[in-house]
Structure 1
Amino acid sequence: MTKTIQILLFSILILTCNSANSQKNKNEIILKNGFTIVQDTISIDINGEMTNALKFKEKYYVLYKQPILKYGGYGKRYLCVLNNGKVERVVDCPMELQTVYLDFYVKNDSIILKPYMDEQSYNLNIENYNWNKISKTDDLIYEDKDYYIYSLNFGEWGGKTWFKDKKNGNQYVLECTTPLINKINKTYYLTNSFKVIKINNPEELTKCDSEITYENIEKSGKNYSWYSQSKGFEVIYEDKDIDDFDFSYHPNIVSSFVFKNELLHIYETDTATYLSRIENNKVQPIEKILDNSIFFDWYYSYRCKNLNETNELLKFKTKNDQINGLTTIDGNKIHVTYIFNKAELKPEIIGIEKSNEIFKNRLKSILSNFKKLTLTEIQIKEKEWKTFDITPNHKIGIDDSWNPHNYEIDINKSYLVIEDAIISNSIMYYVTKKNDLVRAITINWESTQTTSLDFENEKAENKAFLERFNDLVLILTNEFGKPNAINRKKKKTSHTWTLQNNIVIEIELFQQGNYNNIRMEFFERK
């Protein structure tokens, strides 16, 4: 690619980032080999990372998953509908779909969400954007007038692909895991990241007896107890340097498609993506089409590739966490849509001084009238302080000692502050939904880094937490006077204030080895 094209690619990203009012920007780059790259950009504001995506009736349907920074569980999912360069709407996904393994695809003019390990699937009604439960879907990945083609992924045991003859029901199988399928005349091409297989006649593959048909294997779950004969196909490309247990990055085939009766490929290295062809068992780049982009598929998402004999929608990441992209190929047009997410996706380090300012503001807001503090008003405050929302999607229990009145707690709301490279703090509000009242609050100061520390760093962290604890105790003492109680033990020190309105504030430092924690609670004494 010429330097001019590289500048254009860079410029469109800059234009996207700096143009909040402009939803869509287009330009075209004509390549030497008859292909044209059509680039556009879309701005969104969604708290999440792209996972799955598909194109249906000229609209993009893109799934986003909320990041999980604390409390575990699964992030909430959102469906973003993009139409004509703009966000048409954002739809919540059913809570039952908060899972890692998820497929998202179109079948029979219907958009389907399929959890890989659950028989329950969901269909999207594109008129009212409601999700409807549907019966279990199969593993069909391709269909033409002659064959149904099914595939299953068995994880560490690989996978298999079946050709089922529409005329007589006979099935033929080969060892191949959820491939992308293309067809030229009567020849099938099965593409995976490091291998491309050519099948002139599926009847020359291993014929299945009744026990190893797709239906029986899928039903019985006996997915790794047998192997098909290696016959009836030709390997036209294979990267033999790949080790199944080597999870480091390797150049790979992103996708394959047919153009002018020739099978072409999108091939990715660690620095660029190329339009390519295979010659003599080698990938030969034709033209560079993207720089510094990494394409990806979500876990066990494979039905979406080309069920309707159309090329899949490709998803890629860039070095900028807030810029992802979608790529489609239509004839000689390579459409690249950059999606700039304006939402804050990761909390930034704000420093101790700013963190103390937030802490003092919290004290003022919380204790000015604790018994009437509502979640609504504290959410407004946290937004003003620009803390990072890390609210879990599941209920977090509360210690009985912090809820002596046995209030019903049915809402949790949590925010994170990264103080520095060593210490972060997170606040949790425990709320009664019926009246929106905050019943108790905890703040935890924990390690920003989760990696193990060597001895010298361990001592430095222990010292930093002790100093932070003393600073917080000083702030509380200046605000409320001397504590009513101080309790010192070998690994734990606590200070307690009981205010005139029966509100208790307790702060505790716990240190053991390289584990450090400061916890503060606010609650109403009985």
Structure 2
Amino acid sequence: MKGTFAILILSLTLFACNGQQNSNVINFESGFSLIQDTISISVNGRMTHALEYKDKYYVLFEQRLMKYGGYGKKWLYIFSNNQLEKVIDCPEEMKTVYLDFYVQNDSIIMKPYMDKQSYYLDNTTLKWNKVDKTNDLIWEDSDFYVYSLDFGEWGGKTWFKDKKTDSQYVLESTTPLINKIDNTYYLTNSFQVLKIDNPKELTKCDSDVTYENIEKTGKNYSWYSQSKGYEVIYEDENVDYFDFSYHPRIVSSFVFNNELLHIYETDTASYLSRIENNKIQPFEKILDEVSFFNWYYSYRCKNLNGSNELLKFNTRNDQIYGLTTIKGNKIYVTYLVNDVELKPKTLGKKRSNEIFENRLNSIIADFSKLTLTEIEAKEKEWKSFDITPNHKIGIGESWNPNNYAIDINKSYLVVEDSIISNSIMYYATKKTDLVRAITINWEKTQTDRIEFGNEKSASEVFLKRFKDIVLILTNELGEPNSKNEEKKNQSFVWTTQNNINVEIKLSRQDNYNNIRMVVYERK
């Protein structure tokens, strides 16, 4: 299976890199068909949200930040007939983790969970405009409005509001996907499916627990509804909600030939499934080794207009994402193959030293005339990894004694090995394009998982690395003007003939190791 996936990814990459559209159809014995296509993209970010609207894909990408905090930029990519049609910047206010992206009243809307202010996309001008009022509607038919809220650790509620009487009926269910067969409603979550024959048999709301009142007052956890009016047709009783390790789950549900079916995901594959005797019964494998996901508090997109949601998945290749939609007996899968690397490669100590020496030569040669444009081109040539923050970072007077205006930054990362990485920051003046100061920090290599290593061993590695860097500096600049060789906090300073200060300091604490180098013009 792993070999099959590797071949698939290689094929997709080759087709995308050649600028071709690869269409592949697989007909299953169950009567379903899998139609696979690819789109080649160049995006400095990861996919977060996506929806299908009027035969187009609208996909949100977010810049991945490696350092310096803050939120990454967001872009909306619009694809038509598997071709990129338009890229639109998202409002600065949408730099948040808790974001929903959906279609309502023929408008594409972005809504932050913690803020009333939302935005809709003007279909004519393709500009974002503010919209003051949005709600938590997740389903609507001729009889009911259905609203739902997610209260985090306190669970969530779903309300059925009768269109004729305005009466509301509630149950404890957190932002489910809703499907309807005849007059019966099915509410799907990852580990549970509920059946409601008549929403009026749910608990009827008093005025203080209607959707509007709970949403207005924020009294999320003050009242819980009675468990009545619905049937649990599936529940995975083996799930521990406090265990965050992977567990097989229902990705989505949909109706085909008047039957409720499901996409069920395990750690190795995804299947078409049905429920029989309170058990998930897979009957057709559709995809190998993909991981479906939905973003935090993004739930209005699921099934608002009665058609199945556009599903999103990751693959084992960080540069390949997938979109899936089901129309009748056809399963459409579109792979987005990104030619932009989103993670830095490990370059090794030898190559890291070469980059450092090249930087040093470029910087020291004539620091007063070093332009940001020039050094950006060199960093690209050296293949360091761009980690420039979205916000301005200033420096103190001690590194900027001439009080130059610092209003633009560029930063790059070099991963030396599994222990040490170095990041360089160029502080510059936008008007003149001149670099005014530079810092380089050698720090512990960041990984995607928490690691508890031997800090004492790392401390010795940092000490050795510091000595290597000092030797390189001494060979280039001569003997330092001053030095402090204290065991845990060593420092050296050079002052060049053209009045440039180069300072380097080693800091070693019990659980922290850092080497910092600063280059700036003296007053």
- Interval containing the TM-score (normalised by the shorter chain): over 0.9
2:127 corresponds to 1:130: yes
Matched with 2:340 is 343
TM-score (norm 1): 0.96
2:423 corresponds to 1:421: no
The DSSP-based 3-state class of the residue aligned with 2:267 is: coil
Matches within 5 A, 1:326-365: 326-365=323-362
2-side partners of 1:32 and 1:9: how far apart? 21
Shift of 1:458: 2.9
1-side partners of 2:100 and 2:446: how far apart? 33
The answer (yes or no) to whether the contact 2:394–2:407 under 8 Å persists in 1 is no
Matched with 1:300 is 297
The DSSP-based 3-state class of the residue aligned with 2:476 is: helix
Matches within 5 A, 1:113-192: 113-192=110-189
Q: Which amino acid aligns with 1:251?
A: P
1-side partners of 2:329 and 2:494: how far apart? 72
Matched with 1:276 is 273
**Mean Cα deviation higher: 170-179 or 374-383:** 374-383
2:72 corresponds to 1:75: yes
The answer (yes or no) to whether the contact 1:486–1:495 under 8 Å persists in 2 is yes
Q: Which amino acid aligns with 1:401?
A: S
**1:16 pairs with 12, 15, 37, which one?**
12
The DSSP-based 3-state class of the residue aligned with 2:19 is: coil
Give the % identical residues.
68
Describe the shift of the 1:171–1:130 C-alpha distance in structure 2 as closer, same or farther (beyond 3 A): same
The answer (yes or no) to whether the contact 2:5–2:289 under 8 Å persists in 1 is no
2:82 corresponds to 1:85: yes
Shift of 1:30: 0.5
Q: Which amino acid aligns with 1:60?
A: Y
**1:397 pairs with 394, 397, 401, which one?**
394
How many correspondences in the alignment?
Answer: 520
2:378 corresponds to 1:378: no
The DSSP-based 3-state class of the residue aligned with 1:492 is: coil
Matched with 2:473 is 476
1-side partners of 2:78 and 2:370: how far apart? 37
Matched with 1:434 is 431
Matched with 1:369 is 366
Kindly provide the CA deviation profile for residues 310-329 of structure 1, in whole angstroms up to 9, marking residues without a partner as x: 10000111111112111000
Shift of 1:372: 2.3
Kindly provide the CA deviation profile for residues 246-305 of structure 1, in whole angstroms up to 9, marking residues without a partner as x: 211111110000111111111111111110111111111111111111111000000001
1-side partners of 2:404 and 2:354: how far apart? 31
Describe the shift of the 1:514–1:223 C-alpha distance in structure 2 as closer, same or farther (beyond 3 A): closer
Shift of 1:453: 4.7
1-side partners of 2:434 and 2:279: how far apart? 66
The answer (yes or no) to whether the contact 1:187–1:200 under 8 Å persists in 2 is yes
**1:314 pairs with 311, 314, 319, which one?**
311
Matched with 1:410 is 407
2-side partners of 1:14 and 1:485: how far apart? 55
1-side partners of 2:441 and 2:4: how far apart? 47
Matched with 2:251 is 254
Shift of 1:424: 0.5
Shift of 1:385: 0.8
**Mean Cα deviation higher: 371-380 or 107-116:** 371-380
Q: Which amino acid aligns with 1:253?
A: I
The answer (yes or no) to whether the contact 1:275–1:286 under 8 Å persists in 2 is yes
Q: Which amino acid aligns with 1:488?
A: E
Q: CA RMSD for the aligned pairs?
A: 1.7
2-side partners of 1:123 and 1:399: how far apart? 41
**2:40 pairs with 40, 43, 50, which one?**
43
Describe the shift of the 1:425–1:165 C-alpha distance in structure 2 as closer, same or farther (beyond 3 A): same
1-side partners of 2:489 and 2:171: how far apart? 62
2-side partners of 1:9 and 1:275: how far apart? 19
Matched with 1:290 is 287
The DSSP-based 3-state class of the residue aligned with 2:503 is: strand
1-side partners of 2:122 and 2:429: how far apart? 34
Q: Which amino acid aligns with 2:71?
A: Y
2-side partners of 1:317 and 1:90: how far apart? 21
Shift of 1:452: 5.7
**Mean Cα deviation higher: 190-199 or 91-100:** 91-100
1-side partners of 2:58 and 2:291: how far apart? 20
2-side partners of 1:182 and 1:28: how far apart? 27
The answer (yes or no) to whether the contact 2:480–2:494 under 8 Å persists in 1 is yes
2:109 corresponds to 1:109: no
Q: Which amino acid aligns with 1:462?
A: S
2-side partners of 1:73 and 1:242: how far apart? 34
Q: Which amino acid aligns with 2:351?
A: K
2-side partners of 1:124 and 1:476: how far apart? 54
The DSSP-based 3-state class of the residue aligned with 1:349 is: coil
Kindly provide the CA deviation profile for residues 38-69 of structure 1, in whole angstroms up to 9, marking residues without a partner as x: 01111111121211111111111111122222
2-side partners of 1:435 and 1:221: how far apart? 52
Kindly provide the CA deviation profile for residues 108-154 of structure 1, in whole angstroms up to 9, marking residues without a partner as x: 11111111101111112243332211113100001111111000000
2-side partners of 1:8 and 1:71: how far apart? 39
Shift of 1:435: 2.3
Kindly provide the CA deviation profile for residues 3-38 of structure 1, in whole angstroms up to 9, marking residues without a partner as x: 9xx988764432211231234200110011111100
The answer (yes or no) to whether the contact 1:28–1:37 under 8 Å persists in 2 is yes
**Mean Cα deviation higher: 222-231 or 65-74:** 65-74
The DSSP-based 3-state class of the residue aligned with 1:424 is: strand
The DSSP-based 3-state class of the residue aligned with 2:490 is: strand
Matched with 2:199 is 202
Kindly provide the CA deviation profile for residues 405-434 of structure 1, in whole angstroms up to 9, marking residues without a partner as x: 222222221110001111110001112222
The answer (yes or no) to whether the contact 2:51–2:310 under 8 Å persists in 1 is yes
**Mean Cα deviation higher: 458-467 or 179-188:** 458-467
The answer (yes or no) to whether the contact 1:94–1:131 under 8 Å persists in 2 is yes
Unaligned ranges ≥5, structure 1: none
1-side partners of 2:376 and 2:212: how far apart? 52
Unaligned ranges ≥5, structure 2: none
The answer (yes or no) to whether the contact 2:234–2:278 under 8 Å persists in 1 is yes
2-side partners of 1:452 and 1:12: how far apart? 32
Q: Which amino acid aligns with 2:424?
A: I
The answer (yes or no) to whether the contact 1:251–1:269 under 8 Å persists in 2 is yes
Describe the shift of the 1:265–1:295 C-alpha distance in structure 2 as closer, same or farther (beyond 3 A): same
